[in-house]
Chain A
Amino acid sequence: MAKTTAHGDNYINYEKGLWSWLTTVDHKRIGLMYFITVMFFFFIGGVMALLLRLELFAPNTAPNVGQILANGDVYNQVMTYHGAIMVFMVIVPGIPAILGNFFLPLHIGAKDVAFPKINLLSWYCFMAGAILAIATFFTTKIDTGWTFYTPYSIRTGTATALMVLAAFIMGMSSILTGLNFIVTVHKLRAPGMTMHRMPLFVWSLYATAILQMLATPVLGITLLLLAVERFLGIGIFDPKLGGDPVLFQHFFWFYSHPAVYIMVIPAMGIVSELITTFSKKVIFGYTAIAYSSLGIAAVSFFVWGHHMFVSGQSETTGIIFSFLTMLVGVPTAIKMFNWVATFYKGSVEFRTPMLYALGFMFLFAIGGVTGIMLATLPIDVHFHDTYFVVAHFHYVMVGGTLMSLMGGYYYWFPKMFGKMYSESTARMSFVFIFIGFNVTFFPQFILGAMGMPRRYFDYIPAYETLNKISTVGSWLIGIGFLFGLYTIVHGLLKGEKAPMNPWGSKTLEWQTPSPPPHDNFSVEPVVTAGPYEYR
């Protein structure tokens, strides 16, 4: 380890130079590298989203503002890049790879994850996949939608094979991260840190890691088969050669439904942390929250068919999947009630992270109840592939995952960088994002109920007003994120020095200096109580 130069006292200045970052095996530095790359892709995906909303501001026949993009193909490409980037490069790696990498070892009192080199390898896999995905932009682009449904993806003239290979490689990165987390939780806990003393964020990462491990290989092989299908025409998904295009949907959703929970379970974990810290109160129903994460993870493997109620599967199949989907709703509801109960007789402080946690609960409640609607068979028949679905999953993915991710950033910002952010601009950013989000996506529920299908480049005049409102909302979100960017940059450059534990939290990562030293803890912590002992 020891090189010629002297080491700094924290992980950021421990070694210097770009090369020391690119070859680091320190989980904190890898988390930070993920942070930078994911934020970059979030920016690109966000610009794509603004473009889509701009195009949908008015029907194409309207003068001036009607048609912004050149034609339907361009719209489809922008739509595909928005979806693929946001799913594979932002929301899936977002919480586990950034905050999970950084805080999982700190949370359980470990020096690092179990396999630091594999952790670095997973970042390089992610980068390789991401670069490949971006490279498609400079070839024939992609226009399949992020779901790559066959036989469209077999037939289209765009660079689908390259894109699915990219997603395959990013999937490997996800598998390696999950594997690392499971072993770390099993083997590297500090003395006294029993499973039931782990913070709920760790529990959620653990449940997520199981999903990443078990579901991603199936996506991997599915995408690989699709690539082979395009190169060799093997016929597995091609009806012209006797194959079944619907089989692809089964395979795809066998991963991609659990993937939804890969995105949202860690978000629930962060919210649990935020709520207990800023209420200064023990979490209500620790065991229920911890095990409901595992419960959601387990059941989520058996609900994929609810994406296919109208794909031609049998009535019985639809009924079984609807039933199982209803069951997933229960552990999710339990978590919501537990969080509300935690506020009772607490001492609630409205710092920015807490605002995001409350925002999460507000939006996730709406996302949740509309999820139950979509799980109801005849309702889904009407709503399937309409803007109702678009609104629903944005409420869950953006309103849920992204809100909690932002809350997590602000919460741990002092720990990660050793600086405090400015509370006023951070709150401003929250207000814009929260209001903008509802203005953008709530009208889409109504549009969906009215029957507007998703992935539409143009629409009938009846849908115009609500689409206009929605587009205006997207600008508010954009402004909100600009405030957020300003807050981060300002905090990094001019922020006050952060104390060790600015929020008075009880979990382990706050019991070491900000930013943490290279080895996390100068003395290995010994744990004697649960994570939320506010007495």
Chain B
Amino acid sequence: MMWFNIAKAQSFMPTQGTEIAKQVDNLYGFLLVTSFIACVLVIGGMIYFVWKYRRKTPNDKTAYISHNTALEFLWSFIPLVIFLGVFGWGWYIYHQMRAMPKNALEINVLGKQWAWEVEYKNGYKTVNEIVVPINQDVKILLTSSDVIHSFFVPSFRIKQDAVPGRYTALWFKADKLGDFHLFCTEYCGTSHSGMIGKLKVVSREDFDKYMEQGQEERNLPLGEKGKKLFAVKACASCHAVDSPATMVGPSLFQKFGHEETMDDGTKIMFDENYIRESILEPNKHIVKGFPKGVMPTFQGQLNENELGALVEYIKNLK
């Protein structure tokens, strides 16, 4: 711990997710302390002087002091030395930020209005979610398909513009597990503030599993993908799929293509659109005999492709 950590710079900065973040915070802590001292000197000096030498009579005599070369040299020279010191320190850290590590795990990220498209080396694609292993150099290769965006993970203290028509890059080595915010910091229009992603730092094993899963998912037939999702999203804990038995919710076995009676007495055809509606707005139509408000909505948690996979899976439960 260095002396300037009394500034508790971290208390206002987000979690330190990388080694670089700690270095940045140290420098920031130093700057905070020196800035505070400088402000106390200047503002305190100002307040002290204006109060001590406040006007007492309308005809106060004032001293005629036009300049003082030694003093002026000192207060030009000392700030210069401090500024250059800070500059050098900054240079040192910045160089580490910009020097791309060799053998890093590379992930391509494409900014577009208004989402981050992520593509891993094995071809697995996600949107607004990046999963990386802990303690591993990760290099993000950025570009944009429309306007300039900027890739910002506050906890990692890193930021880089995604510029259309060229690649830019940044790297990090996360040393904390967890979910971190990913913001767009270059103004990009209507939903600029909604262009928020998640950066998940997981263990090596979980990452490998995630990649494998992604690899498999890409090759799976739609129905199989749906089966997997059904398990991952824990649908099976409430809905039976291999018998008409009632669990928390109605069974889905052999339901497709048949009419269902709702709690208000109306009948609804159990078709693709009803499945979709039941996933996204589960409480709109409740099957007779079941309570309302039990099933949570999956709005925003599934993309079109995943919805399609689920529909395909439920369709074929025979």
Contact = CB atoms under 8 A, between A and B. Distances in A.
B94 A378 contact: yes
Contacts, number: 263
Given A312-B160, A348-B53, A279 B87 contact: no
A387 B29 CA distance: 18
Given A245-B165, A288-B67, A381-B97, A369 B159 contact: no
A197 interface: no
B54 interface: yes
A365 B72 contact: no
A14 interface: no
A137 interface: no
Interface size class of A (residues with CB under 8 A): 35 or more
B38 A451 contact: no
A347 to B, nearest CB: 3
A376 B193 contact: no
A450 B43 contact: no
A87 B116 CA distance: 32
29 contacts: A72-B191, A72-B193, A152-B188, A245-B165, A280-B60, A282-B64, A310-B160, A322-B87, A340-B42, A340-B45, A346-B63, A347-B60, A347-B62, A350-B54, A365-B39, A369-B31, A369-B35, A372-B31, A372-B35, A376-B27, A376-B86, A376-B89, A378-B90, A378-B94, A379-B28, A382-B24, A382-B159, A453-B193, A534-B64
Nearest to A445: B12
Number of contact residues on B: which range applies? 35 or more
A479 interface: no
A75 B55 CA distance: 49
A323 B91 CA distance: 9
B28 A373 contact: yes
A377 B306 CA distance: 43
B173 to A, nearest CB: 15
The 3 closest A-B pairs by CB, nearest first: A451-B154, A239-B165, A347-B60
Given A239-B165, A286-B67, A350-B54, 12 more contacts: A151-B148, A240-B164, A279-B53, A281-B64, A323-B87, A365-B38, A365-B39, A369-B38, A373-B31, A381-B159, A385-B159, A386-B185
B72 A322 contact: no
A54 B107 CA distance: 39
B160 to A, nearest CB: 5
Given A280-B60, A322-B91, A334-B75, A385 B150 contact: yes
Interface of A: 71-73, 76, 143, 145, 149, 151-152, 155-156, 239-240, 244-246, 279-282, 284-288, 310-312, 315, 318-319, 322-323, 326-327, 329-330, 333-334, 336-341, 343-350, 358, 361-362, 365-366, 369-370, 372-373, 375-379, 381-382, 384-386, 446, 449-451, 453-460, 534-535
A369 B39 contact: yes
B55 A349 contact: yes
Interface stretch (B77-85, B125-133, B227-235, B277-285): B77-85
